[in-house]
Structure 1
Amino acid sequence: MNVQETDREHLAAFLLAMRSQGGVEARLMEAVEAVPRRLFLPDIKGNVYTAESFPLPCGETIGSAELAWRCVMAMRIQPDSRILEIGTGSGYTTALLARMGARVTTLDRYKTLSKLAAQRMTTLGIENVTVLTEDGSLGWAEGGPYDRVIVHGVFEKLPKAFSDQMASHATLLCAIGPERGAQRLIRHEKAGSRFEEEVVGTVWWVPLKAGLAARL
């Protein structure tokens, strides 16, 4: 059995596991099926849908496929959602977001990762994504306000800069907690000048680094 056939089997099993969780909307299932994870992990051998993280260039990592779809599901994306993503990484979650929303602006401080992610969007024919090599530690006000924001990083508390870039009734997903150890993955729902918070999981993310990478 070749890699393509094996990947199809692993994807089928993964989709079955997703369906067994209940409450996963059909649009998200279709997005996961339409975005081949192998494209984002070309050098990884074996099952790319396992519940583990994988290394990326520039010393970064990509979380599990399950974490990706759970993050997307938690954001409750609508077809007209304007989305900001901080921490493009491989671009896998970016592609899922693009399949779900109207427009995605995604930032990464590493030009290597941004370039590879942009190439993958082109390969998949995804045109509703803008990939930027920028410092996203304080968001990206130029494209705001946003309906949905996801930050692949942890804060001690949510920076005001992000809340200022969110539209009314917008949703932001990020980790809150210590730099090391387990953190709460929290969905922040903006309601006027205040936030309603809901813990949707546990993650082990790292703080965002400010500035652009000097070399990579």
Structure 2
Amino acid sequence: MIEREGFAALVLRLRAEGISDLDLLTAVEQTPRSAFVPSYLAEHAYSSRSIPLDCGSFMEGADLTVRMLRQLNVKPAHRVLEIGTGSGFMAAVLGRMSERVLSLERYRGLATDAQKRIDDLGLKNVVVRLADGSAGVTGEGTFDRIIATAAFPEMPRFMAEQMASGGVAVVPVIVDEGRCMLTRLAKTGSRFEREELGPVPFLPLEPRLSLCL
């Protein structure tokens, strides 16, 4: 009941914003969001509010998650890099839409729990790796899509090397003290087009693996 009613309310809010991408909404519907939040907050799983996770992290609201994924415009043949796994919900949705997802998480406990939730859904094409995502990932080639759920102090340079031609990145960037702007970077050949999409409430990215389990 929570899933059905929560998803229906989310769809109504999104349609009011002009968001009606069937493939995206189907992927969200097939990924039970309440399984990715603390059980005592299950009733808020599909709300627009941020939900606290372990280690001081949080899960962005359902509306913002869908808005970000819409800007990413994922296709079935794409390889996706996610920086900041958190609960694993966004990685799971991406796994239903793309060929392969590699998600990086600096907290061991979050990474382990997220991979278990994803495995329980039978998604074999999503890998969560304990890693510092501040420089992306090496040895994996290039990615068609890159998305981050932590704010970089500036648009990271590694994206120029790790993004395939035709690639798109959606990344929160700190534009001045205390203000974070969701930014879309599109690559065509060696050229980049940058677009600011609006303010978002993400925490600054922290480098290195965390000692918090």
Which TM-score band (shorter chain)?
Answer: over 0.9
Shift of 1:192: 2.5
Equivalent position to 1:167, from 164, 184, 206: 164
- Normalised TM-score (structure 2): 0.93
Amino acid across the alignment from 1:56: L
| Contact 1:102–1:128 under 8 Å retained in 2 | yes
Deviation string, structure 1 residues 166-216 (Cα, Å, up to 9, x no partner): 111111111122474232211100123231012223212222111111241
| Contact 2:175–2:181 under 8 Å retained in 1 | no
Counterpart-to-counterpart distance in 1, 2:19 and 2:45: 24
Shift of 1:107: 0.5
Aligned pairs (5 A) from 1:53-64: 53-64=50-61
SS at match of 2:43: coil
- Normalised TM-score (structure 1): 0.92
Match for residue 17 of structure 1? 13
Match for residue 134 of structure 2? 137
Identity percentage over the alignment? 38
| Contact 1:180–1:204 under 8 Å retained in 2 | no
Q: Quick check: 1:202 aligned with 2:167?
A: no
Q: 1:80 to 1:17 in 2, by over 3 A?
A: same
Aligned pairs (5 A) from 1:141-152: 141-152=138-149
Counterpart-to-counterpart distance in 1, 2:36 and 2:19: 27
Counterpart-to-counterpart distance in 1, 2:140 and 2:201: 28
- The root-mean-square deviation of aligned C-alpha atoms, in Å, is 1.5
Match for residue 35 of structure 2? 39
Match for residue 123 of structure 2? 126
Deviates more, 1:155-164 or 1:135-144: 155-164
Amino acid across the alignment from 2:71: A
Q: How many residues align?
A: 212
Deviates more, 1:100-109 or 1:175-184: 175-184
Counterpart-to-counterpart distance in 2, 1:54 and 1:104: 23
Aligned structure 1 segments of 4 or more residues deviating by more than 4 angstroms:
none
| Contact 2:185–2:195 under 8 Å retained in 1 | yes
Amino acid across the alignment from 1:121: I
Match for residue 211 of structure 2? 214
Counterpart-to-counterpart distance in 1, 2:17 and 2:166: 27
Gaps of 5+ in 1: none
Equivalent position to 1:110, from 107, 110, 115: 107
Counterpart-to-counterpart distance in 2, 1:144 and 1:44: 38
Counterpart-to-counterpart distance in 1, 2:159 and 2:116: 28
Match for residue 83 of structure 1? 80
Deviates more, 1:39-48 or 1:144-153: 39-48
Q: 1:124 to 1:57 in 2, by over 3 A?
A: same
Q: Quick check: 1:66 aligned with 2:55?
A: no
Shift of 1:14: 1.4
Shift of 1:45: 4.7
